[in-house]
Homo-oligomer: A and B are copies of this chain.
Amino acid sequence: MDVFEWFSIIGTIAFAVSGAIVAMEEHYDMLGVFVLGLVTAFGGGVVRNLLIGVPVTTLWSQGLLLKTAVFSIVIVFVLPTAWIYHWKRSEAFFDAIGLAAFAIQGALYAVEAGLPVSAVMVAAMMTGIGGGMIRDIMAGRKPVVLRDEIYAVWALLAGLAVGIGPIRAAWALLALFAATVTMRMLSVHYKWRLPR
């Protein structure tokens, strides 16, 4: 298992947990918690696959990630609420790992499919933020990523880097990964916002 698989697992956990927490904040029941957790973790990849023409059924070969997501959601559901508030403080870091891992992975899929740079950027962004957008819509909220966070821009830039550049070697991808995580954490810390 290479290092990117570890990043995918961390990202899946972060996204599944964030979906489960949103569902609990909206007083959804156990089913709602599971559905929102799974949709947040896998929804972005499904939409990306639809847009770049990769079979959606590859979803079902990700048995390890599916199990990881289900297990994480169970933990969130049974943990005391106080612990969850504790998680929310370190959430941004795990979330940044998920964003970076998924964006780079999405961009590589689009490059393999032979698509133009515009498609590579959209694939990177949708894999990174699509799940969170569907989560918010299913929770009756306006997608937070469209309003208050610079979040998605780092996914777009990672997609641009993969789309135009010769970033294919493991070390180059790792450097891009580290840069994306760093920019995301800096934007959280300094509360960077996009102009309106």
Chain A residues at the B interface, C-beta cutoff of 8 Å: 23-24, 26-32, 35-36, 46, 50-53, 55-57, 59-60, 63, 66, 113, 115-116, 118-119, 133, 137-143, 145-148, 150, 152-153, 193-196
Contacts and interface: CB of A to CB of B under 8 A. Distances in A.
Given A26-B142, A194-B30, A57 B53 contact: yes
A53 B60 CA distance: 11
A36 B92 CA distance: 25
Given A115-B57, A138-B133, A196-B24, A146 B32 contact: yes
Interface residues of A, dominant DSSP: helix
A56 to B, nearest CB: 6
A17 to B, nearest CB: 17
Contact of A29 (B31, B55, B60, B146): B146
B63 A31 contact: no
B115 A31 contact: no
B51 A50 contact: no
Contact of A27 (B36, B50, B153, B196): B196
Given A60-B115, A119-B60, A137-B138, A146 B53 contact: no
Contacts of A116: 60, 63
Contacts of A57: 51-53, 113, 115, 119
Residue from A23, A26, A32, A194 having most chain B Cβ neighbours under 10 A: A32
